[in-house]
Structure formats: structure tokens, C-alpha cells
Amino acid sequence: MTDRDADKRLAAAAAVDEVCDNMLVGLGTGSTAAHVIALLAERGLTIETVATSRASAALAERLGLKVRPFDAVARVHLAIDGADAIDADLSAVKGAGGAMLREKIVAAAADRMIVIADGSKRVERLHDTKLPIEILPFARAFAVERLSGLFEQLDERTGYLTDNGNIVVDGHGWNDADLPGLAEALAAIPGVVGHGLFLSEIDAAYIADNGVVTRLERGRNPR
Ligand SMILES: O=C[C@H](O)[C@H](O)[C@H](O)COP(=O)(O)O
């Protein structure tokens, strides 16, 4: 295990310590969230889960966790997920793995949403991180044209479809001076069905850096 991977597992373990019997837990997607799934399976708690991607559902089921279909679930007790970048306000960019739409829905359904990450994800500002945008294939050209006013460069992921059957365009060179304004502008484009800006969903974060775990709670963090 690399140092970075060890940090991911440490952050995951800190979040898993918040999981109790009888909880319905939202499972995130990605290499850090995979540690959560493995640790939950190891701990043998009496829990049920919902997954934010087919990959996480498959991993969880393979390791023996009970995974409920999310389409019949309105509320989750705790969601635990990774991030591509997170700042001191607990605003984050997610979606390098293309799962941001389902991740945001499960995060919104959760009483508490925790991000787990290694120290490389902690940033002063988010704008250096590519911002993934999920687009209905029907709207591809139209949405990209509308997005071009918000980004210096847009790269479509070739040959890739999300679990929802949509395309993903990664936006580079964006202005983070008004994050709520940007989120609003993205949501206002017909055909854009999701994006990786998480501004209000995250309640806490466990960031592990060289073996030391720091907990951040919304509204209570020094800059
Ligand atoms: O779509 C992917 C998710 O938002 C991931 O949670 C995020 O990309 C972080 O993944 P990782 O833990 O592999 O860096």
C-alpha cells in the first residue's frame, strides 16, 4: 500500500467509526470510498447500504454488504464519499469517476455527509481542479456551446457514458469567485443533468495527511 493509499484508508476508518448498527449508509464511489466499503464489510455491523454507482454496489455486494436499490429510498442516515478537491468551507469538486450526479442525490438524501480524502485533495481554491459536467447526449452540442462561456476549455470524455447513460464533459479554466453563481448557471442549462460542484451537501471531512487525520466540520474550520 502506498502512503497515499494508507492515508485514504485512515480517513475512511475515521468516517466508518461514525457508523452504528441499524444505519442506512450511502456508499460513495472511487478509490477512497472503496476503503469504506471494505472496512464496513470487515466490521460486520448490522447495516444496510445504498450505492452511488454500479461499481460500488458490485464491490459492496461482493464483500457481503446488503445494498438496497436507491429508487425506493428517500432518506439515508450517513453518506461517506471521496472528493477530487475540497476547501476549508467544505465546498468540493467531485466526479473524476463520473459518479457525481448519483453522489449528489445520495448526499442530499443523507442526514450527514462526510467526505474522506488524502491530503492531496485539500486545496485553498477549487478552480485548478477540472469540473465534470454530466450532459444528456441529446443536448451535447447545445450544452457545450452554452458552457463555453463559463470555461476556457471543455473536454468530452470519449467513449464514456455514466451509469445514467449520459456523457461527461470536463471543464477547465473556470472562475471560482462566485461558486453559487456558477452552480446556478450550470443548473440553468437545459440538458445539463449534473455537475461536480458540491457547495452545501458536505457536513464534515476527514483528511489524512502522512498518517495524521484532521476532522473538518461545516462552519467550524480555521482557514
Ligand atoms: O465520480 C467519482 C467521485 O466523485 C469520487 O468520489 C472522486 O472522484 C474521488 O475519487 P478517489 O477517491 O478515487 O480519488
Q: Which domain range does residue 168 map to?
A: 131-195
> For the domain that residue 177 is a member of, what is the CATH number?
3.30.70.260
Q: CA-to-CA distance for 193 and 159, rounded, in angstroms?
A: 19
Are 48 and 27 in contact by the 8 Å Cβ rule? The answer is no
The rounded percent of the chain whose pLDDT value lies above 70 is 99
According to the model, what pLDDT value does residue 133 have?
Answer: 98
Mean pLDDT of 94-111: 98
Q: Is residue 188 domain-shared with residue 84, that is, in the same domain? A: no
Residue 39: inside a domain:
yes
Q: Which phi and psi (to 5°) does residue 191 adopt?
A: 100, -20
Tell me the sheet residues that pair with 207.
117, 214
The rounded Å distance from CA 117 to ligand 1 centre is 9
Q: Is the ipTM of this complex over 0.95?
A: yes
Is residue 30 over pLDDT 90?
A: yes
| Residue found by looking up cell 451509469 in the block | 163
The predicted pLDDT at position 220 comes to 72
Residue 223 lies in a domain: no
Whether 65 and 143 map to the same domain: the answer is: no
- Local confidence band at 222 (pLDDT 50, 70, 90 cut-offs): low
For 49-96, the pLDDT digits (tens) are: 999 999 999 999 999 999 999 999 999 999 999 999 999 999 999 999
For the Cβ of 99 lying below 6 angstroms from any atom of ligand 1, the answer is yes
Contact 199, 184 (CB under 8 A): no
Using a 6 Å cutoff on CB, does residue 171 contact ligand 1? Answer: no
Domain membership of residue 158 (yes or no) is yes
> Which atom number of ligand 1 is nearest to the Cα of residue 94?
4
Indicate the average pLDDT of the chain. Answer: 97
Whether residue 117 is found in the same domain as residue 38: yes
The number of residues making up the chain comes to 223
Q: What is the number of structural domains in the chain?
A: 2
CA of 83 to the centre of ligand 1 (A): 5
Task: Say whether both 100 and 205 belong to one domain.
Answer: yes
- Is 153 within a domain? yes
pLDDT of 18 above 80: yes
The protein residue whose alpha carbon is closest to atom 12 in ligand 1 is 32
Question: Are 136 and 187 in a shared domain?
Answer: yes
Same domain for 25 and 105, yes or no, is yes
182 domain residue, yes or no = yes
Query: Measured in angstroms, how far is the CA atom of residue 82 from the centroid of ligand 1?
Result: 5
Query: What's the CATH number where 35 sits?
Result: 3.40.50.1360
The answer to whether 50 and 75 are in contact (CB under 8 A) is no
Residue 222 lies in a domain: no
Helix (H) or strand (E) holding 215: strand 212-217
Give the residue numbers annotated as catalytic, written as ranges.
Answer: 103
Q: Is a pLDDT exceeding 90 seen at residue 1?
A: no
Share of the chain above pLDDT 90, in %: 97
- Please check whether residue 184 lies inside any domain of the structure: yes
* 3-state percent breakdown (helix, strand, coil) of the chain, nearest 5: 30, 30, 40
pLDDT > 90? residue 223: no
